[in-house]
With several copies, the nearest count.
Chain A
């Protein structure tokens, strides 16, 4: 399946755009998504940390993804 991944902050610089498409196996998880992105964009691994949000909520590594989900990469936040 194809998952569209939104990018913010430094992730946008790393991906070279505000979203990327990632091909994942059916029943793919957040963890699979991270692995796939880190292979394609090794600079992701240099961040202090980053999270994945699914449908506007922080998601655990085990969360299952579907093509209909709104998925986003959340680098370390720095608002306020």
Chain B
């Protein structure tokens, strides 16, 4: 299992993530980049704050990686998540998957971001001009 999993309070480096995930064996690389949107449901977002239960989040991210390796012929897999204060346009998450063929790369990348959003203990608070809200906390 060739993976690189990281939680960091520093800006994520997209190019070095891609460089790491590319291999001479792979023909298809899929990358998902999450960015901070400037608005949610019509309200202007000033910034986002991400917080992680870091030890557990890393453990859950490794479980996701393990599952992806067992479900698809993945060559390399990268999950970087940023925490702290992020401005609009900044990147909270990068997922990269390299495979011999593109089918597996697309499917594994999709699986990883979907599952991360369901199981990994990381929380984001949206800060608006007139208030703030922990995303997904309330009905």
Contacts and interface: CB of A to CB of B under 8 A. Distances in A.
Give yes or no for direct A-B contact (beta carbon below 8 Å).
yes
Interface of A: 6, 8-10, 13, 46-48, 53, 56-58, 72, 74-80
B134 A77 contact: no
A8 B137 contact: no
Contacts of B124: 78-79
A47 B121 CA distance: 16
B120 interface: yes
Contacts of B118: 77
B116 A80 contact: yes
Interface of B: 34, 50-53, 55-57, 59, 81, 92-93, 113, 116-125, 134-139
Interface centre among A8, A13, A75, A77 (most CB of B within 10 A): A77
Contacts of A10: 123, 134, 137
Contact of A77 (B113, B121, B125, B139): B121
Given A9-B134, A10-B134, A46-B138, A80 B113 contact: yes
Contact of A8 (B113, B116, B121, B136): B121
